[in-house]
Amino acid sequence: MKLVVENLGPIKHGEIDLSKDFYVFVGYNNSGKTYMSQLLWTVLNLETIFEFAGGMSEKLGIKGGNHECEVDKPLIQRIILLLETFLNNFYVDYSFQTENNDFFKRQGFNLKFQYDIDEEYNKLLVILKNSEWGYKEEANFIRLNLSEKAKEAVLRVGKDFFEGLSKKAMDNIVVILVTSSLLNHDKRTFFLPSTRTFFLAFYEYIYRIEKDKKDAMDKKIAILTEKQKRGEKINLQELNVFRNPYTKPVNQLLKTLYTLKDNYIANQYYADLAEKMKDLIGGDIALGENETGEYGIEEYRFQPKGTNRFLPMFLSSSSVNQLSTLYQYLLFWANEGKNFLIVDEPEQNLHPENQLKLLDILIQFSQRNQNKVLITTHSPLITDAVNNYLMLGALENREQVAEEMKMSKDFLTAENTGIYYFSGDRIQEYVIGDYGTIFKDFKAVVDKVEEQKFELGNMLFQQNEKKAKTKKKAKQTQKQAQ
């Protein structure tokens, strides 16, 4: 299934295959890479799927009762059509926090899905075979029913949302199931923006702002509640003043940082990758008491490896600051599986060797537990390394080769990798073969530099040769004069 967009910022037209596990976005500055990254965060986010199901399931006319229903190809098509409408008319502007002026609508933004209905129907069947659902494949539809295990799993997700497994709840569950199957994703997406370098350095400042805003909003809600009790009219739009002026993906990161101290317990899902991040950072990042104790908050500090010293983040290197949010993600925020991690320009502030080490970690993460990773990059080194992992994936003896060449044994393939070039108004998918692909835009620039280097070297050689001949001739003339 492909996501097709028109008029997304500078992008006039673009298509992204949603079935991939590792995405690489390359292209010029201001060509829409970050726009598309945040759009994918929105489309594939579990919160989006829940919002869509809760608001649209009643419009689908799903056949069945409280614990049983029918899913056929026309229903899947209706779900896709409604999902397009939901995203175009409301949710994209909501996610980018532009719904007050309908920015994307006014720009002529349009999103649709390109799909083969038979493929999507069969994909749903495969998912059901590996799930706790009870189902029976009929001639023209699938008869779904909730097994006891499935009911328990559903209620664990959210009793309030599913309203005790009523007909409406069953419809919601079916829409979530089908939508997740269509999008190849049903977990939380996470976006690390290029501005992440500053987040931990200014954590205390961010915390204070967030806490002040929350306290002010709580007071405002209390005032509005009292007004409502007295029968007075209230305007909920008054609460918009407390909303952060950033996109939902960025606000998610700010909120996650803000609430981390309340649940500062590391998970063990990706402990080995978190350890590799510690080595890359050159120490550990931890929350510690701030000097003033104001607001009862703490601050992030960096402990260099092999020392007992703690440095405030603003005195730590830019590489430490930019890597720290990814380290926190692997240590605290990643789910056990089906994560979608989006990292804007992972190469920032990193030595070439560390760029390669970081890419290894991201590829390893993408190959585990049905995870997805998307990176945007301006680094020819990273794209060359991606190509190496694609070629490694095409080798039959790849494990032996990886060990000999000291590469990660995790690899990329043409089937699970999507590479897209953003030209300024179009998105072009690069074709991947056994020898990887050619990053044409980078190659043209690198070739130009190499050509200039060769020509300048040749000119210097000729200049030195001329100087040597002149010097030799001068010596001969001097000798003859004597």
Q: What per-residue string of b and e applies to 414-429 under the rule 16 or more CB within 10 Å gives b?
A: beebbbbbbbeebbee
Structure tokens at 165: 């497994």
Same domain, residue pair 169 and 212: no
Same domain, residue pair 170 and 214: no
Structure confidence by residue, pLDDT tens digits, 271-328: 999 999 999 999 998 776 655 544 455 678 888 998 988 888 888 888 998 898 899 9
Nearest to 299 by CA among 261, 255, 242: 261
Same domain, residue pair 225 and 344: yes
Same domain, residue pair 230 and 287: yes
Same domain, residue pair 249 and 336: yes
Same domain, residue pair 131 and 243: no
Same domain, residue pair 155 and 75: yes
381 domain residue, yes or no = no
255 CB contacts (<8 Å, ≥6 apart)? 210
Q: Residue 54: its pLDDT value, please?
A: 81
Phi-psi region of 403 (alpha: psi -120 to 50; beta: other; left: phi over 0): alpha
Q: Residue 295: its pLDDT value, please?
A: 45
239 domain residue, yes or no = yes
Same domain, residue pair 291 and 195: yes
Q: Residue 293: its pLDDT value, please?
A: 47
Structure confidence by residue, pLDDT tens digits, 29-66: 999 999 999 999 989 988 888 888 887 777 887 776 66
277 domain residue, yes or no = yes
pLDDT truncated to tens, each residue of the chain (482 aa)? 999 999 998 999 999 999 999 999 999 999 999 999 999 998 998 888 888 888 777 788 777 666 678 888 999 999 999 999 988 887 787 788 776 667 777 888 999 999 999 999 999 888 888 777 777 888 888 888 765 555 555 555 555 544 455 677 777 888 888 888 888 876 789 999 887 776 766 666 566 666 666 666 666 667 767 766 777 776 655 545 445 567 888 888 877 877 776 666 788 899 999 999 999 999 998 776 655 544 455 678 888 998 988 888 888 888 998 898 899 999 988 989 889 999 999 999 899 999 999 999 999 999 999 899 999 999 999 999 999 999 998 888 988 888 888 888 889 999 999 999 999 899 999 999 888 898 888 888 888 999 999 999 999 999 999 999 998 888 888 878 76
Same domain, residue pair 298 and 407: yes
Structure confidence by residue, pLDDT tens digits, 216-256: 666 666 776 776 677 777 665 554 544 556 788 888 887 78
Q: Give me the CATH number covering residue 236.
A: 3.40.50
Q: Residue 452: its pLDDT value, please?
A: 93
Q: Residue 206: its pLDDT value, please?
A: 64
By the 10 Å C-beta count (0-12 exposed, 13-18 middle, 19+ buried), 242 is classed as middle
Q: Residue 226: its pLDDT value, please?
A: 72
- Domain range for 460 is 439-474
131 domain residue, yes or no = yes
Q: Which of 187, 211, 245 is the last residue of a domain?
A: 187
Q: Which of 128, 161, 187 is the last residue of a domain?
A: 187
Q: Residue 50: its pLDDT value, please?
A: 86
402 CB contacts (<8 Å, ≥6 apart)? 392, 408, 409, 411
419 CB contacts (<8 Å, ≥6 apart)? 23, 24, 26, 386, 429, 430, 432, 437, 439
Spatial separation of the C-alpha atoms in residues 162 and 158, rounded to whole Å = 6
User: What is each CA distance from 215 to 212, 224, 313, 416, 447, in whole angstroms?
Assistant: 5, 14, 27, 46, 57
Same domain, residue pair 110 and 140: yes
Same domain, residue pair 273 and 421: yes
In one-letter notation, the amino acid at residue 22 is F
Same domain, residue pair 181 and 265: no
What is residue 40's DSSP assignment? H
| Full-model pTM | 0.84
